[in-house]
Structure 1
């Protein structure tokens, strides 16, 4: 190997990046005068992407692996430089390493309470916090939209923007869910999953992919929590009247154990006894419920035609409209009241027949007569 070949080998560079900071998202490799020797070795590790930028324009993108930089494996840069054939002279380009691993344990939390309407407590203020994680899914989009030309970029540079995006989406999600405040803890997983789906499009606009989102806690204002504690205490106590009776009995027992002497003690004991007596009377009186007098029910009669119940004074059936009271006539034998259209008496069993009067001469004939016995006219 000649002297020229020796110096040529000294110019070949090794381009690589080992990240010592877990939050670094982009690192620009320092190249003297942006000049890279043709044939330089580029090492891209897992969870990294190397991007070559020529005169402010994104050129070639290299994934994980070991790459030797020649015109054959840099098609875009070769086209931009108008290289028509391979050569070994240096070329100018900027090299950016983009970290594509997941950035986990990114925290979100409500700086101001979320106003929402609750069906049980009315208007309430809700606070919450949790974590999310994301990674760079489109390195070229990220460089164009967010990174720019900085020397390095870490998660703190975009933390505020992402946090506000997450809070905006979750606030809208909580209001749309209309879940009662007391039941929110039952839906942490469901709300987290829906919140992640809501963030997908917003993160994609920056070249990111949101990989997880978790709601760790949702809390109510202190005054609402105190109200809930009081309601819980009332539920534990159960029947308030029984609790008052128990308190009165305990007070009487304590008073009986108090051995106060002298007239002052006797007077205090009498006063305490009177007060306890009133307490007991009120407690036991409150536990007694006055009986409610039964409401008088109107008499009912069944319709003789459709058997529907009707008030006793009604003349016509409310269901079928027929008369409820059939006209009464005396029996021709025993004079008992029977229905006007009855054929037999319900008391004596006599068949009820009526005499036939001749329409022509007015002569009264027997019930079964077919002709008038006086004038012979047909009945």
Structure 2
């Protein structure tokens, strides 16, 4: 080290951290790791100062201004028996830690998470969101995470946190048994439950989980297409509105397809409307059979039923005698004026009124 550094190290230090960085930790560069008794320590709000003696955490100072003496360093005093009332410098390292909340830390699933859904079976889901944390126990964070590193940034923790968050969230989703379609309405509840599940793991490293948010849990495209088709089926439950929609779509397609013309559109529209009416009839009467088409008539018109004059029994067209009493079939009569067939026993023509 240079002469200037040596001379500077003989004066009483002002130990503080004023640099504006994204680092969580700042190692104060004391000359030869020697700190004079009576040195002025300034710890600002949102900071904590950790003193290390020969690699061991000795004291932790919160926000405030301190003049280093044995009276305000009882732990460090107990570590060593200072015979000269600290007139000589002692070896120590000072680490400042940022205890403010580190916000907008991103998390996301690098690979899909397998889930079992009651309706769709096994599906693959992806999720993402953000979280925030802060250093709660500087001494524990020093022992578990920092070690002897000069600085530490939130980015160095993100990889480990993502794995821990995805693992905990996957376990939570499996235990909740919430249908994938209803996940969106449970984001707040799942976020709170995930935070409670992850908090002990953060606490074991001297950290506190200040917030956890699930922004979205998305499904594969094929599952989303099935959901879209099911939504379309639910919408088309009103066939009247569906037919109106189909009519508008057919007109639009005909306008965009000059080669097909309105004739093709009309034919397709007519077939669609006929099919829609048939389906509508089937759906309006559950369990009812669709109406049968009318039978084709092979004769121009069926003759009026003929009754036996003796017993009144109905006679078929091929019967010459009554099957009940054996009376001969009455001869068919016609009106002499208009030629209209006369019913058996009729005294006047039903068409023109002429006497039979």
TM-score of the aligned structures, taking structure 2 as reference length: 0.68
C-alpha distance 83-233 of structure 1, shift in aligned 2 (>3 A) = same
C-alpha distance 119-35 of structure 1, shift in aligned 2 (>3 A) = same
| Structure having greater relative contact order (Cα 8 Å, sep ≥ 6) | 2
Larger Rg: 1
Distance 1:272 1:191 in 2: 51
How many aligned positions are there?
Answer: 274
Find the counterpart in structure 1 of residue 221 from structure 2.
Answer: 222
* Alignment of structure 1 residues 107-118 onto 2, 5 Å: 107-118=106-117
Q: Deviations over 1:201-246 (max 9, x none)?
A: 1111111110110111111111111222222222222245884698
- Whether the 8 Å contact between 1:52 and 1:96 is mirrored in structure 2 is yes
* Alignment of structure 1 residues 89-100 onto 2, 5 Å: 89-100=88-99
C-alpha distance 175-246 of structure 1, shift in aligned 2 (>3 A) = closer
Of the structure 1 ranges 69-78 and 240-249, higher mean CA displacement relative to structure 2 is found in 240-249
Distance 2:218 2:148 in 1: 42
Structure 1 segments of 4 or more deviating over 3 A? 7-10, 239-252, 271-293
Find the counterpart in structure 2 of residue 142 from structure 1.
Answer: 141
Find the counterpart in structure 1 of residue 58 from structure 2.
Answer: 59
Distance 1:89 1:273 in 2: 104
Indicate the RMSD between aligned Cα atoms, in angstroms.
3.3
C-alpha distance 72-237 of structure 1, shift in aligned 2 (>3 A) = same
Distance 1:249 1:95 in 2: 76
C-alpha displacement at 1:181, in angstroms?
1.1
Distance 1:62 1:274 in 2: 86
Distance 1:228 1:28 in 2: 55
Distance 1:18 1:283 in 2: 76
C-alpha displacement at 1:286, in angstroms?
4.2
Query: Aligned with 2:152: secondary structure?
Result: strand
C-alpha distance 242-285 of structure 1, shift in aligned 2 (>3 A) = farther
C-alpha distance 275-203 of structure 1, shift in aligned 2 (>3 A) = closer
C-alpha distance 144-250 of structure 1, shift in aligned 2 (>3 A) = closer
Q: Deviations over 1:23-47 (max 9, x none)?
A: 3111111011101111111111111
- Whether the 8 Å contact between 2:247 and 2:269 is mirrored in structure 1 is yes
C-alpha displacement at 1:274, in angstroms?
8.5
- Whether the 8 Å contact between 2:239 and 2:280 is mirrored in structure 1 is no
C-alpha distance 14-236 of structure 1, shift in aligned 2 (>3 A) = same
Distance 1:91 1:144 in 2: 22
Find the counterpart in structure 2 of residue 179 from structure 1.
Answer: 178
TM-score of the aligned structures, taking structure 1 as reference length: 0.64
Distance 2:61 2:241 in 1: 79
Q: Deviations over 1:297-318 (max 9, x none)?
A: xxxxxxxxxxxxxxxxxxxxxx
